[in-house]
Chain A
Amino acid sequence: MSEGAMEIHKDDLLSNPTNRVPIGLCLDVSPSMTGEPIEELNQGVELFFKALKEDRVARLSAEVAIVTFGTSAQVVLDFQSLDRISGPPTVQITGDSTNLGAGVALVLDILEDRKNVYKEAGIDYFQPWLVLMTDGQPTSDEHLRAAPRTCDLERAGKLVVFPIGIGQGTDMDVLAMFSEKRHPLKLKGLNFAQFFEWLSKSVVCVSQSRPGEKLKLDTEGVKGWAEI
């Protein structure tokens, strides 16, 4: 056998897209978030993007969308590869009410759209994540229609939901309506940075998971940012 006769070169292989993890951040930007809370939130989201970009796999795998809700809901950043953006846009206070239901409905809609994009492009993907953060209580009834949607998807194993309350004014009973599997957690003070650091580690973990593996979250790490 001649030296080097049986060698595979990279040119002999195919290249397939990395499996995606779509993450929808649904953030409260009602006036009660004015000042320190919105500043800390923006810094936390920036840290989240930075941490994901630093990981070899998550950089290619994670796709983050940001939806904000005040009086109405809007897509501040749609799903896209992290390589395409330098950092997240700064979210700003808008409106004079808290239409939480409209925010969740919009995230679910764009998550569904994104899954269709993956399917059409032949890209494999993990369960989408929904991170819902609010500091108050909804000022409309739209959440009564949005909450059953998240619970139905969660029950079918098609969505992972993280309901997070900010500060003492949060109506935790309303947040609890969005997940049957995961109790809503209240952020310790304004520990957005610790929360988003924990979230990025969880995304890194799932982006490397293999068939048959279940999502294992760092429950000990939750104590770093949540009131328990």
Chain B
Amino acid sequence: MGGNLMVRQPFWRWAGASAAGLAHEAQGIPCEDSWRACQTGRPSGIEIVAVCVCDGAGSASRSAAGARLVSWAVATWLSQHFETVQSEDTASAQRSLVRFVIKWLRRAASRNEVEIAAYASTVVAVAVRSDGAWVSAHLGDGAIVGRCNGGLRLLSDPMKGEFANETFFVTDEDAVEELRMSGSSFQTQTSKPDGFVLFTDGLENALINRRSSQVAPALGRMLDWLDTYSQEEVAKALQSNIRSVLRETTGDDCTLVAMTMRSNEGYE
């Protein structure tokens, strides 16, 4: 019974949920958002967790598949190349990530005899390491909020064109240049948040104010839940709150993932 008391490396926990927008649901269209988390360990015991949320383009014929594929590819690449991103120059990391995603989209497009634009999707991703180092990758709308020293901060705001229905996708010709990468290794971002929330554009209006960079208190509460309850319980609560409260503020699909770091002392 029991075990040895030991101090583990701090580790990251996450929980997420997606729901089809009310407009999509009314038309019988499935959710075109997707999200994926990928956890990998290094021999040193250090862990990396990469999370990506994606919104498939409404005009693309395979938008739901695009969001699924892109979220998987981005989370996989970030978890495998975390150290490379930290040491490489940003332009090179942007190029490698987009190339990796496009490679997988090309395979799917070729198999189904469609253009890769059929899989057009946005990218909102964060990868974190147990020492608190982090990297984000963002293309298109959606946003990333971080919890730094107990306060919430908009770390990456939505990337939009002039008009409300214009945004950027990973399949765009200039995706490499448009992709926004930042993180703890970059000079402009030196803080190490202990919590992140990533979400697609369906939730933007309820959760952030782009003009003032204000962040909704709801996000702080979600991170608190993850500090307190199990990942499964929080995932259920997120799903329920998106469906009953957040989704009422938009017609669009909604996806949100929260991550928090926990310094853990426990029995093994």
Give the interface of A toward B (CB within 8 A): 1, 5-16, 19, 57, 122, 124-127, 157-158, 206, 208-214
Contacts and interface: CB of A to CB of B under 8 A. Distances in A.
12 contacts: A9-B245, A13-B218, A16-B206, A16-B210, A125-B164, A157-B163, A208-B23, A209-B165, A210-B252, A211-B160, A212-B169, A213-B165
Contacts of A1: 229, 233
Contacts of B210: 16, 122
B160 A124 contact: yes
Nearest to A20: B164
Interface of B: 23, 55, 57-60, 63, 120, 122, 140-141, 160, 162-167, 169, 201-202, 204-212, 214, 216-218, 221-222, 225, 229, 233-234, 237, 241, 245-246, 249, 251-252
A211 B167 contact: yes
Contact of A19 (B23, B164, B218, B234): B164
Contacts of A209: 58, 165
Contacts of B251: 57, 208, 210
Given A212-B120, A213-B57, 10 more contacts: A5-B229, A8-B221, A12-B216, A12-B221, A57-B251, A122-B209, A211-B55, A211-B57, A211-B140, A214-B59
Contacts of B252: 210
Nearest to A9: B245
Contacts of A127: 163
Given A6-B241, A14-B208, A122-B210, A210 B221 contact: no
A6 B122 CA distance: 29
A127 B222 CA distance: 36
A157 B161 CA distance: 11
B54 to A, nearest CB: 12
Contact of B207 (A13, A19, A57, A211): A13
Contacts of A19: 164
Contacts of B162: 158
